[in-house]
Each structure stands twice: as C-alpha cells, then as structure tokens.
Amino acid sequence: MSRLLFIIAIIAVVYWWFKSVRKQPPRQDEPPRAEDMVRCVRCGVHLPKNESFLVGGKYYCSEAHSRDQSGNTD
Ligand SMILES: [Zn+2]
C-alpha cells in the first residue's frame, strides 16, 4: 500500500511541476520600439525625438538651432 502512495506522490509532484512550468507566462520577445525620428528644421539632420529640441512645434537638433530661428539663415 505504501508503494501505491509513493506512486501517487510522484504523480502529484510531476503534476505540480508540470502545472507550475506551464503557468509561467511566455517570454515576451517584443522588439524594442523603434525610436521616433525627427528632422531638424534648421539643418535637416535626423535624430531621436527624445533628444530633439521642440520649439514652436518644430524639432531642432540642438538648443543652438532652436534658438537661432530669427530668420537669419545666412
Ligand atoms: Zn540642426
């Protein structure tokens, strides 16, 4: 009889193990989101949006270009 209990215990452990393994969520291999690229309206260089300077609804590559927008474009 103890042998039967042992077998049941093994089955229970295997069942529990199988269940816990299956329970794990599938690995999320989502590729990193493509960074939004913007273009400096002053010099035309492309750069990530989060590194750009947004002034007056326009993107600039640097603070200098965002400041130097008084119409004096040489
Ligand atoms: Zn620029």
Q: How far does the centroid of ligand 1 lie from the alpha carbon of residue 52, in Å?
A: 9
Higher local confidence (pLDDT), 14 or 2: 14
- Kindly indicate the confidence band of residue 13, based on its pLDDT and cuts at 50, 70 and 90: very high
Is the pLDDT at 47 greater than 80? The verdict is yes
Distance of CA 47 from the midpoint of ligand 1 (Å)? 9
- d(CA 56, CA 37) in angstroms, rounded, equals 18
Domain ranges of the chain: 37-67
Distance CA 15, CA 47 (A): 53
pTM exceeding the 0.75 threshold for the entire prediction: no
Cα of 15 from ligand 1 centre, angstroms: 62
Q: Which tens digits make up the pLDDT trace of 22-42?
A: 776 666 676 666 678 999 999
pLDDT of residue 33: 65
Q: Distance, CA 56 to ligand 1 centroid (Å)? A: 15
